[in-house]
Amino acid sequence: VQSDPVDLLKYIADNMIRELKANKATLKTKPGIVYSLAYKYVVPYADLPEMSKRVLPPKIWNSATPSQRAQFQKEFTRLVIRTYASALTSYQDQEVRFFPMRAKGGNSAEVKSEITSSSRPAISVSYRLLNQGGSWKLYDMSVEGVSLISSFRSQFASILANGNMDTLLNRLSKHNNG
């Protein structure tokens, strides 16, 4: 599965959709179902250290202690899952179609897809992956051209402008626990 980026993303999407369909009746009342699905099917194939590093300014990341980096990665992972899981709780009949990759080479890839539904216009989603030791890992995704990394980077920049890494960690922790 992990030797081809498109196959990996299809595997994740197929499993998520199958489970979302099976749990459709309770998704809104039990969001924990969606969180557990994300931890089961997405997290193992996401490059969380890379995402965490890319979402912060290099100066902040490089000056953070190892424990601050670990705490940030944990809180950032929770934030990403909560953010995108909330969208999945409104699952109806969406299907995902992946497009073949045009150029494969090196250790990075971008895969484009479209989420279609009988009741809404199609949504374009692209995924960016890195190959590490023969396994592809997801490190960014863009929905309708808006990158997850860029979006969070700008949110964090405004917090960091008035504080430091500890300020950011406290805000993330409060948000994730709220």
Query: Closest by alpha carbon to 16, among 4, 34, 30?
Result: 34
* pLDDT the model gives residue 160: 94
Q: Provide the β-strand partners of residue 109.
A: 129
Look at residue 2 and tell me whether its pLDDT is greater than 80.
no
Task: Estimate the crossing angle of helix 66-88 against helix 32-41, to 10 degrees.
Answer: 120
Q: Which residues of 77-90 are buried (b: 16+ CB within 10 A; e: fewer)?
A: bbbbbeeebeebbe
Strands (E), 53-174: 95-98, 108-116, 123-132, 135-143, 146-147
pTM, entire model: 0.85
Look at residue 31 and tell me whether its pLDDT is greater than 80.
no
Q: Provide the β-strand partners of residue 141.
A: 127
Residue 150, CB half-sphere, CA atoms under 13 Å: how many? 7
Cα separation of 89 and 86, whole Å? 5
54-74 pLDDT, tens digit per residue, is: 999 999 999 999 999 999 999
- Give me the mean pLDDT over the 105-129 stretch: 87
